[in-house]
C-alpha cells in the first residue's frame, strides 16, 4: 500500500510537469517564505512623518496716548512683529477716522522725535505692550504737490506782468515806451529757471512718499510768489532802465546764468542716478561732465549753482528786488548746505572732510 501511494505521487508530479504546471514548493521553501512574512509583520507600521511644529507668534498691543493730556485715545491690538509704524497708523485711522495716516505723528517720548513710518514695531518693543504718544500734525500735502505748487506760481505770475496787463500798468505808457532787449531776456531766463525746477520735480528727483504740513506750503508759496510779483513788476515796468554797463553786462551775466542752470541740472541728475542705482555707500564724485567737477571742492554744488543763477540774474537786470531776493537765497542755501554737509560728514567722513559745504574756502 505504501509503495502504491509513493508511485501515485510520482505519477501525479509527472502529469503536472506534462501539462506545464509548476512543481509544488518544497517544505524548506515554504518555511523560508513563512519566516520572511513573520519578519515583515513584526517590523510594525512605517514611521509617520514628523508633525510640523508651529512657532508661537507674539502679537503686540500698541497703546496710543495724547501727547498733551496723556489720556488714552485707543489701543491697537494684535499687531504682528513684522508690522511697521505705517501699518499701526492705518489701524489707528480705522479706529479714529478723523485722523488719516499722514496726519498722525507718533513718538516714543513726549519730547522725542517723530518716528518714521518705515520703522519696525518689533524694534520698538520692550514688552508686549508698546506705548506711543500721538500728535495731530494738521492737514498734510505730498512733497510732489508742494514743489509743483511752489514753482508753478512764479512761472505764471511773471508772464502776467510780462504781457503788461492794463490792470497793472498804464496802457498808454506801456505802448509808448520801448522795451529794452534785457526785459525779454530776463523773462526767458526766469521762465527757464522755474520750468527746469518743474521738470526735475516730475522726472529727475526721487521724492519721498512722505508729507509736509499745509502751512509749510503756504509759507513757501507766499515767499516765492510774493518776490516774483515784486521782481516782475519792476523789470517789466514801462519806465525800467537798463543796466549801467549796457550790452556787455547783460551778455556776461546771461552766459553765467545759463552755465549755472546747466550745472544745477547736471548735479541733480548725478544725485538722482546715485539714489536710483542704490549705491549710497560712497559720496558722489565728478564724472566726465565738466559741470560735475565742482564736487571736488564742495559737498553741495547744486546749492552753489542755485546761488550763482540768482546772482547772475541780479547783475543782468540790475534791480533792487532781485538783489534782495538773491541775498535771502544765499542765506537759505548756506543753512541748507551746512545741514546737509553735517550729514555727509557722518556718512562719508574721509571723502568730505576736506570739502567746503557750498562756497569753496569760505563756507
Question: Which of the listed residues 204, 222, 241 is the one where a domain comes to its end?
Answer: 241
Could you tell me whether strands 140-142 and 60-66 are parallel, antiparallel, or unpaired per DSSP bridges? unpaired
Average pLDDT over residues 338-345: 89
Mean pLDDT of 217-241: 96
Model confidence at 26: pLDDT above 80: no
Q: Which residue has the higher pLDDT, 76 or 26?
A: 76
- For residue 126, being part of any structural domain is answered with yes
pLDDT digits (tens, 9 = 90+) for 97-110: 999 899 999 999 98
**53 part of a folded domain:** no
Are residues 274 and 220 part of one domain? no
Q: What is the band of 346 on the pLDDT scale with cuts at 50, 70, 90?
A: confident
Residue 89 pLDDT > 50, yes or no? yes
**CA-to-CA distance for 320 and 327, rounded, in angstroms?**
11
Residue (of 182, 227, 162) closest to 318 by Cα position: 182
State whether 74 and 131 are in the same domain: yes
| In a shared domain, residues 220 and 231 | yes
Residues 165 and 118 both lie in one domain: no
Map residue 356 onto helix, strand or coil: strand
Among candidate residues 185, 218, 241, the one where a domain is terminated: 241
In which band, very low, low, confident or very high, does the pLDDT at 16 lie, cut at 50, 70 and 90? Answer: very low
> Does 179 map to a domain?
yes
> Does 163 score more than 90 pLDDT?
yes
Q: Is residue 191 part of a domain?
A: yes
**pLDDT, tens only, 169-216:** 988 888 888 899 999 999 999 999 999 999 999 999 988 777 899 999
> Does one domain contain both 255 and 354?
yes
**Residue 51 located in a structural domain:** no
Contacts of 113 (CB under 8 A, 6+ apart): 107
| Predicted confidence band of residue 56 (pLDDT cuts 50, 70, 90) | low
**Lowest-pLDDT range of 34-38, 204-208, 330-334:** 34-38
Co-location of 229 and 322 in the same domain: no
pLDDT of residue 351: 74
Q: Is residue 52 part of a domain?
A: no
The 3-class secondary structure across 338-352, one letter per residue, is HHHHHHHHHHCHHHH
Cell of 129: 505692550
Range of the domain at 310: 245-362
pLDDT at res. 360: 79
What is residue 317's predicted lDDT score, i.e. its pLDDT?
Answer: 97
Confidence band of 126 (pLDDT split at 50, 70, 90): confident
Q: Does residue 298 surpass a pLDDT of 60?
A: yes
Most confident of 100-114, 310-324, 330-344: 310-324
Q: How many degrees, rounded to 5, is the angle at CA 177 between CA 173 and CA 179?
A: 130
Which domain CATH number covers 97?
3.10.20.90
Question: What pLDDT score does 218 carry?
Answer: 96
Residue 323 CA: distances (Å) to CA of 264, 314, 329: 20, 5, 10
Residue from 233, 215, 216, 295 nearest 263 by CA: 295
310 and 250 in a single domain? The answer is yes
The last residue of one of the domains, among 241, 269, 286, is 241
Model confidence band, residue 290 (pLDDT cutoffs 50, 70, 90): very high
Check whether 336 has a pLDDT greater than 50. yes
pTM of the model: 0.78
Place 133 in a pLDDT band, splitting at 50, 70 and 90.
very high
Q: Give the per-residue pLDDT at 176.
A: 80
Same domain, 252 and 226: no
* Whether residues 252 and 307 fall in one domain: yes
Q: Confirm whether 249 is domain-assigned.
A: yes
- Say whether both 143 and 132 belong to one domain: no
Lowest model confidence (mean pLDDT) among 213-222, 225-234, 272-281:
272-281
Most confident range, picked from 71-75, 189-193, 244-248: 189-193
Do 262 and 355 sit in the same domain of this protein? yes
Whether 126 and 97 map to the same domain: the answer is yes
| Number of domains present in the structure of the chain | 3
Residue 48 included in any domain: no
- Three-class secondary structure of residue 129 per DSSP: strand
Amino acid at each position: 500500500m505504501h509503495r502504491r501511494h509513493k508511485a501515485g505521487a510520482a505519477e501525479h508530479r509527472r502529469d503536472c510537469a506534462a501539462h506545464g504546471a509548476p512543481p509544488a514548493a518544497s517544505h524548506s521553501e515554504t518555511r523560508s517564505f513563512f519566516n520572511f512574512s513573520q519578519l515583515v509583520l513584526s517590523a510594525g507600521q512605517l514611521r509617520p512623518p514628523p508633525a510640523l511644529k508651529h512657532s508661537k507668534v507674539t502679537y503686540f498691543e500698541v497703546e496710543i496716548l495724547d501727547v498733551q493730556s496723556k489720556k488714552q485715545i485707543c489701543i491697537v491690538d494684535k499687531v504682528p512683529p513684522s508690522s511697521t509704524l505705517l501699518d499701526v497708523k492705518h489701524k489707528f485711522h480705522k479706529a479714529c477716522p478723523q485722523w488719516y495716516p499722514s496726519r498722525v505723528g507718533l513718538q516714543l517720548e513726549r519730547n522725542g522725535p517723530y518716528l518714521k513710518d518705515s520703522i519696525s514695531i518689533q524694534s520698538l518693543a520692550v514688552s508686549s505692550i508698546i506705548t506711543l504718544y500721538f500728535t495731530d500734525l494738521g492737514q498734510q500735502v505730498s512733497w510732489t504737490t508742494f514743489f509743483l505748487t511752489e514753482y508753478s506760481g512764479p512761472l505764471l505770475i511773471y508772464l502776467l506782468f510780462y504781457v503788461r496787463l492794463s490792470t497793472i500798468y498804464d496802457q498808454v505808457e506801456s505802448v509808448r515806451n520801448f522795451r529794452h532787449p534785457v526785459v525779454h531776456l530776463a523773462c526767458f531766463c526766469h521762465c527757464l529757471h522755474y520750468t527746469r525746477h518743474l521738470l526735475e520735480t516730475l522726472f529727475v528727483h526721487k521724492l519721498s512718499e512722505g508729507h509736509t504740513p499745509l502751512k509749510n506750503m503756504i509759507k513757501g508759496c507766499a515767499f516765492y510768489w510774493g518776490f516774483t510779483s515784486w521782481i516782475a513788476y519792476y523789470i517789466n515796468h514801462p519806465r525800467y532802465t537798463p543796466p549801467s554797463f549796457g550790452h556787455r553786462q547783460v551778455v556776461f551775466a546771461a552766459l553765467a546764468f545759463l552755465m549755472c542752470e546747466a550745472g544745477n541740472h547736471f548735479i541733480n541728475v548725478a544725485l538722482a542716478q546715485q539714489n536710483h542705482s542704490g549705491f549710497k555707500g560712497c559720496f558722489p564724485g565728478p564724472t566726465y561732465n565738466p559741470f560735475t567737477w565742482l564736487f571736488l571742492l564742495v559737498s553741495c554744488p547744486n546749492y552753489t549753482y542755485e546761488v550763482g543763477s540768482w546772482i547772475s540774474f541780479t547783475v543782468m537786470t540790475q534791480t533792487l528786488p532781485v538783489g534782495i531776493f538773491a541775498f535771502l537765497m544765499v542765506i537759505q542755501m548756506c543753512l541748507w548746505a551746512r545741514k546737509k554737509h553735517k550729514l555727509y560728514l557722518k556718512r562719508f567722513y574721509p571723502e568730505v572732510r576736506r570739502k567746503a559745504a557750498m562756497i569753496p574756502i569760505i563756507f
